[in-house]
Structures are given as C-alpha cells and as structure tokens.
Amino acid sequence: MPALPKPANRREGLRRETLALILATAERIFAEHGFKGATMQAIADEARLPKANLHYYFPTKQDLYRQVVERIFNIWLDAAESFDTTASPQEALTTYIRKKMEISRSHPYGSKVWANEVIHGAPIIHDYLETTLTEWTETRIKVIERWMDEGLIDRINPRHLLYMIWATTQHYADFSHQIVTLNDSKEMNDQQWADATECVTRIILAGIGAKRGG
C-alpha cells in the first residue's frame, strides 16, 4: 500500500478517478458473475464508459481481473498485520477476528472475488498462495505453538484454528445471500454485525481455552 502522491495535474487526477471507477465497478461485476460470466461490456456499462476505454487502461480482461484480485490481497494483508505476534492470545485473536469481520462487511465484493478465485483453483493468484500466504501462515502457526507451550491456550492444531477463523469470518461476506435470506431477507444491521463478531470471538476463544479479556 504505497501512499499515493498527489496528482501532478488535471490529467493525472482524471486518470486516477477513471482507474478507481473501473476497478471498483469491475470488482462488483466479477463478484456477481465470476471471471467468465463478467463481460467487459457489462463493466463498461455500469461504469458508464465505452468498452474501448476500458481496454485503453487495461489491455485485457485478465489484466483488469488481476489488478482487482491484487487489491483484495493487499486489504487482506493489512488485516493480517493485526494478528499481532507479540500480544496475548486474547488480544491478538480478538483484534484479528474483528478486523476480518469488518472487511467482510466493508468489502463483500472483494471477498467474493477472492473466494471465487480460490474455489476455481486460484489460477491467477497461485503464486501469492505459495509465497506470501505460506510465509504468513507459518509465522502465525509458530506464534500459536508458543502460546500452547506457555500454557496460554489448549493444545490444538494451529492450522485448523486459522482455517476456522478464515472460513467463519469470510462466510459472512461470501455467503451473504444465504445469510440475508435466513435473516428475514434483510441485510444485517449494525447490532447484528456486532453480535456476530462478539459471538464468533467468544466461541473461538473459549474453544481453545483462552480466557477473555485476559
């Protein structure tokens, strides 16, 4: 996430706006229809741009898709940082879960695109999984093992704890249609999101034998 320098001139500013508009629209369309189901024409229409203009900024559909996915990965990385390797299990996990739930609420389309990508074998982002994600996971597993060695939590397989957190938090974004349907066809409100976050955190912490607020 490089801090972006301010636009040098009118052109540069417009260019950024257009890029942002295209990326945001594309994220939604890719999330709703999948890579193949999304068409450049549909993205163009939603963004109110001629299709040829999209191809000016992103030569191919794959280029556009890749940038959408990379943006999402960076958001994920930000949240991943909040898994503080120096904090107590309670602090680290509570913060991490909250952050992930917030992402599910604020970036539902991104989460869906990511899910889609992984479900279909991660053809575009396979290298990310093998490098960045693997490294991140290994270091966190070591942290969790240390917690167990120090008797701060029960002995469990750290891998499955992580999967459980990922699966559950992302479920609220990826399966939002199912959740909405089961919620009287209403979007979850602030209170319900807070309730979900609290409930998930509590079950996870109790599940691994970590006292809360400790």
Partner DNA sequence: CGTCAACCTGACCAGATGGTCAAAAGAAAT
Partner DNA sequence: ATTTCTTTTGACCATCTGGTCAGGTTGACG
Positive/negative CA dihedral, 41, 44, 48, 54: negative
Tokens coding 37: 């189901």
- Note whether 67 binds DNA by CB under 7 A: no
- Note whether 179 binds DNA by CB under 7 A: no
- Note whether 66 binds DNA by CB under 7 A: no
Instruction: Give the residue, chosen from 119, 145, 146, 187, that forms a contact with a second copy under the rule CB under 8 A.
Output: 119
CB of 163 to a second copy, least distance (A): 6
Query: What residue type is 135 in one-letter code?
Result: E
Question: What percent of the residues of the chain are helix, what percent strand, and what percent coil, each to the nearest 5?
Answer: 75, 0, 25
- Note whether 139 binds a second copy by CB under 8 A: no
Query: What residue type is 193 in one-letter code?
Result: W
Indicate which of DNA, a second copy, none lies near residue 50 (CB less than 5 to 8 Å, by partner kind): DNA
Rounded Cα–Cα distance for residues 159 and 35 (Å): 30
Q: Return the number of the residue (57 or 136) whose C-beta is nearest DNA.
A: 57
- Note whether 181 binds a second copy by CB under 8 A: yes
Closest by CA to 80, choosing from 67, 93, 66, is 93
Rounded Cα–Cα distance for residues 166 and 133 (Å): 12
- Note whether 9 binds DNA by CB under 7 A: yes
Within 82-101, the residues that bind DNA by CB under 7 A are none
Rounded Cα–Cα distance for residues 81 and 96 (Å): 8
Of the listed pieces 32-40, 150-158, 168-176, 188-196, which binds DNA according to CB under 7 A? Answer: 32-40
DSSP string, 100-135: HHHHHHH-HHHHHHHHHHHHTT-TTTHHHIIIIIHH
Of the listed pieces 3-11, 41-49, 59-67, 199-207, which binds a second copy according to CB under 8 A? Answer: 199-207
Indicate which of DNA, a second copy, none lies near residue 214 (CB less than 5 to 8 Å, by partner kind): none
Closest by CA to 62, choosing from 32, 33, 31, 38, is 38
Contact residues toward DNA (CB under 7 A) are 8-11, 14-15, 18, 38-41, 49-53, 55-57, 59-62
The residues that touch a second copy, with contacts defined as CB under 8 A, are 31-37, 112, 115-116, 118-122, 126, 129-130, 133-134, 137, 154, 156-157, 159-161, 163-164, 166-168, 170-172, 174-175, 177-179, 181-182, 195-196, 199-200, 202-209
